[in-house]
Amino acid sequence: MKTVTGFASATVGNVACGFDVLGFAITEPGDEVVLSLHDERRSDCPVSITSIVGDGGALPLDPKKNTSSFVVLKFLEYIRTTKGITFDGHIDLLLKKNLPLSSGMGSSAASAAAALIAANELFGSPCTKMELVHFAIEGERVACGSAHADNAAPAMLGNFILIRSYNPLDLITIRPPANLFCTLVHPHTELKTSFARSVLPKSIPLSVATQQWGNVGALVTGLLMEDYDLIGRALVDVVAEPKRAPLIPGFVEVKQSALDAGALGCSIAGSGPSVFAFSSSRQSAETVGAAMQDAFLRSKAALQSDMWVSPICSQGARIISSTP
């Protein structure tokens, strides 16, 4: 029996101004998916979820409804039709959820990317990571009803990812400055992605759109030029943040606390409720994180929180163990 364990880390989608077109990966925390290959098919479905650890029983065990198993099924279909690889055996899947659910940390994308990198290894790596990204994006549709790539792509590929186009999919990798650190703070509350998307406007004034476009261009330029001041000035979201901020208890105070503590900029991580900030050193990022946690605790909801400080992850999804 061959067993492979894949890992994919948390990601931050949108990155303030880049709604659905920008995202980046951090080094930790992340989800693990363990796939075990058996020679004999045990049911009509070639994938079974044997256990999910860390979700509190919230995630479905139906392999067609769980993000991690769904993408493996799509992968098996793809390698059969395009690579000529047939599979008559069975795969057992164990999902270790180290990321909180409905957190804005790319939880579903991490599960999908970890499962896909493990499945690819299990069958001799017939697919490139770029091929695997397509399945990870489809996994997002299962998780929240929207096939967005701003978490799925960086979870698989690492670095910053700019989605130039969805149809056809055109992803651009941006390697960030070496001393750019992310502080990610997760308050102990949930915010469903589907609900957070429902509060967004269906259309925006042209003046708002031009301001957002300017910030996206400035952020990408700042990353490429290693201009930390420009990165900070560009972390402005005039589209999603004004609508989602009221959904996160204490967000305004948390953001201001981060800036007062020296952060380059601060905004909502993905759809929330997690909040991220950028700093130009680890020491500064730690100081910023402590201030953000204190602000959450001082909010009316008195929220406890978890905090991580990390450089941008350049590796993306990876194999952490494999046994023949």
Q: Where are the domains of the chain?
A: 2-174+313-323, 181-311
Q: What percentage of the chain carries pLDDT values higher than 70?
A: 100
* Count of CA atoms in the C-beta half-sphere (13 A) of 64: 3
**Which CATH superfamily does the domain covering 181-311 fall into?**
GHMP kinase, C-terminal domain (3.30.70.890)
State yes or no: pLDDT of 297 exceeds 90.
yes
Q: Domain 2-174+313-323 is in which class?
A: alpha beta
Phi and psi for 59 in degrees, rounded to 5? -90, 145
* CB contact at 8 A, 158 and 314: yes
Q: Confirm whether pTM is higher than 0.75.
A: yes
Strands (E), the chain: 2-13, 22-38, 47-53, 90-96, 160-166, 169-174, 181-187, 265-268, 275-279, 305-311, 318-323
Residue 316's pLDDT is 96
Of 181, 156, 160, the closest CA to residue 7 belongs to 156
pLDDT beyond 90 at 298: yes
pLDDT above 90 for 147? no
pLDDT beyond 80 at 146: no
2-174+313-323 and 181-311: same fold? no
The answer to whether 133 and 108 have CB atoms below 8 angstroms apart is: no
137 to 8, 95, 109, 143, 211: CA distances (angstroms): 14, 18, 8, 10, 28
DSSP 245: G
